[in-house]
Amino acid sequence: MRPADVVGELADHIRQCYLEPERVEILLDELAARSHEYDASSSEDLADMLTTDLQELSGDRHFRVAATPLSDVQAVAEERYKQFLPGAEQNFGLLRLEILEGNLGYLELSALPPPENAGDTLRAAMEFLRHVEGLIVDLRENRGGSPEMVIAIASYMLGVEPVETSGVTWHHTGVRERFLTDPAASAFQFRPSLPVAILVGPGTGSGAEALAYDLQSLGRACVVGEATLGAAHRVVQFDVGGRFTLTVPAGRVTNPITGGDWEGTGVVPDVAVPSSEAFTAARQTMAASLERGD
């Protein structure tokens, strides 16, 4: 395909789906103006140049062009997703579970596998933590996973009535996905006054960011550490000429409390410390809170 043809087909998909409709024509005009500079001798080089320009012009790193047909990209993505989400041999990413001095619970999660796989393990972990005086959830190296697992964990924290968390609005369809906690699906709910701290850092992404952001916005958790990765937008993918795959940010996440999300900025901690010091800071903050009777 000639670069101009690739750009033209990309433009059709971007115009239809990009979640910033007020900016789309400016972006596409700039992209078209650069198309004469593109080198068609290599599909890989062309894809790299298009990716660089789309990200630069939009300021959104979710844009991507790959020199691979969509079917191959999806097959690879599915395999990577399976490898990314830990299975039973890795305890479904529940890496560490401990009762600390002062009857504080500690739970470290490296990923968020779907509840149909990890639900029983999560339930057992929560039962173990049931009688703690405070809870620390470590998401510092958690890149996310299943939205349903986010809801499953939040359902232990947010009381006996369903609570709405961050949802997604898809620009190209107008569909709004709502997510509600499901207290009936959890073994119990922690008491509303239980102090909860969530540890975060640059290694915290996607669904793990959603969990931290939602509990923070609801006033249910104190977030401790460094700002997170900042990946909130949801994407769709398109085949371009049978040779390229275009990824477009098309879904905007909106929190019902803040009206916003964590795209670009990341989840901003309540207690800002280097992520390597977040555990110690959380313990100190929680101990002081319990001593005051907060």
* Digit-coded pLDDT (tens) for 19-45: 999 999 999 999 999 888 887 678 899
Helix residue ranges, H only, the chain: 3-17, 24-34, 43-58, 70-84, 115-128, 147-154, 207-217, 278-292
| Structure tokens that stand for 193 in this block | 């006054």
* Selection from 139, 270, 121, 156 nearest residue 206 by Cα: 139
Mean pLDDT of 213-231: 97
Mean pLDDT of 126-137: 97
Block residue for tokens 């922690």: 190
Mean pLDDT of 229-247: 92
Mean pLDDT of 266-285: 96
* Selection from 31, 22, 19 nearest residue 56 by Cα: 31
Q: Which pLDDT belongs to residue 151?
A: 97
Given a cut of 90, whether residue 85 has pLDDT beyond it is: no
- CB-CB contact of 165 with 262 (8 Å): no
For the chain, domains (ranges, CATH) are 3-81 (no CATH), 91-230+265-292 (3.90.226.10)
What are 56-78's pLDDT values in tens digits? 999 999 999 999 888 887 776 66
Block residue for tokens 């699906």: 185
Which burial class, exposed, middle or buried, applies to 44 when counting CB atoms under 10 A from its CB (0-12, 13-18, 19+)? exposed
- In degrees rounded to 5, what are phi and psi of residue 259? 75, 5
Residues 251, 172: Cα–Cα separation, whole Å: 9
Residue 70: how many CB atoms within 10 A of its CB? 18
Residue 240: how many CB atoms within 10 A of its CB? 24
Distances, alpha carbon 8 to alpha carbons 2, 5, 287, in Å: 10, 5, 59
What are 149-183's pLDDT values in tens digits? 999 999 999 999 999 999 999 999 999 999 999 99
